[in-house]
A = this chain, B = another copy of it.
Amino acid sequence: MPKPTTRDMIEEKADDLFYETGFEATSFADIAKAVGISRGNFYHHFKSKDDILDAVIDRRMAKTKAMLTTWEEDAAPRDRIVSFIRLMIANKAKIMAYGCPVGTLTTELTKLDHDAHSRAADIFGLFQDWLAQQFAALGHGARAQKLALHLLGRSQGVAVMASAFKDEEMLTSEVAALETWLDQLEPLSPVKG
């Protein structure tokens, strides 16, 4: 595989640091040290800190889209939704340490009154639309968007509490509860079959 460009490495490390320590608390010096380049070199690749943030959000949107596509390998909409729910299990350690990357970034940008806030929220939009498609395929057309938003909210709540209390049991039991919730949704009248 081609070796990553400096720009790629800046994006990658910035992505990690924004997640782990927050956007505001991450300085150019921190990113420079993580990448292993000089501070002044940034401005050849990004013209401002906000520019890096934009790139990180783009990057997260692209990765999210790719992940959602992967989950579509499961033919059954129900299983696709389960993939989403179990993402919290897969990312358990990071969620307990830093919360949800989407939720925490969006929340921070809201408080900073930052222009990029709505673009960060658009990542939630990607999840919501994709989940709504799956719920619609399960026969919940009219309330598909609402169910998607509900599921997103439940996930966010789990992430916030699990990281606040560093409580793995809470995370796993709430994930189980979400799967039960999914399988008990009514009415079940799939579009086809």
User: Which residues in A have some Cβ–Cβ distance to B below 8 Å?
Assistant: 20-22, 24-25, 97-99, 103-104, 106-108, 110-113, 120-121, 124, 146, 149-150, 152-158, 160-161, 163-165, 167, 170, 173-174, 177
Q: Which of A99, A152, A153 has the most CB of B within 10 A?
A: A153
In the bound complex, do residue A164 and residue B112 qualify as a contact, i.e. CB atoms below 8 Å apart?
Answer: no
Chain B nearest CB from A2 CB (Å) reads 33
In the bound complex, do residue A121 and residue B165 qualify as a contact, i.e. CB atoms below 8 Å apart?
Answer: yes
> In chain B, what residue has the closest Cβ to A26?
B111
In the bound complex, do residue B153 and residue A161 qualify as a contact, i.e. CB atoms below 8 Å apart?
Answer: yes
In the bound complex, do residue A98 and residue B124 qualify as a contact, i.e. CB atoms below 8 Å apart?
Answer: no
A98-B110, A110-B99 as given contacts; A161 in contact with B149, CB under 8 Å: yes
Q: How many Å lie between the Cα of A150 and that of B157 in the bound state?
A: 9
A25-B112, A107-B163, A111-B21 as given contacts; A153 in contact with B149, CB under 8 Å: no
In the bound complex, do residue B150 and residue A174 qualify as a contact, i.e. CB atoms below 8 Å apart?
Answer: yes
In the bound complex, do residue A164 and residue B22 qualify as a contact, i.e. CB atoms below 8 Å apart?
Answer: no
Chain B nearest CB from A155 CB (Å) reads 7
> In chain B, what residue has the closest Cβ to A155?
B157
In the bound complex, do residue B112 and residue A21 qualify as a contact, i.e. CB atoms below 8 Å apart?
Answer: yes
In the bound complex, do residue B161 and residue A156 qualify as a contact, i.e. CB atoms below 8 Å apart?
Answer: yes
Q: How many Å lie between the Cα of A112 and that of B137 in the bound state?
A: 42
Chain B nearest CB from A42 CB (Å) reads 21
Chain B nearest CB from A172 CB (Å) reads 12
In the bound complex, do residue B157 and residue A160 qualify as a contact, i.e. CB atoms below 8 Å apart?
Answer: yes
A156-B156, A157-B155, A158-B153 as given contacts; A164 in contact with B121, CB under 8 Å: yes
In the bound complex, do residue A160 and residue B107 qualify as a contact, i.e. CB atoms below 8 Å apart?
Answer: yes
List the 10 closest pairs (A to B, CB-CB), nearest first.
Answer: A157-B157, A153-B157, A156-B160, A156-B157, A153-B161, A22-B111, A106-B164, A121-B164, A103-B160, A24-B25
Q: Which of B107, B108, B173 contacts A146 (CB 8 A)?
A: B173
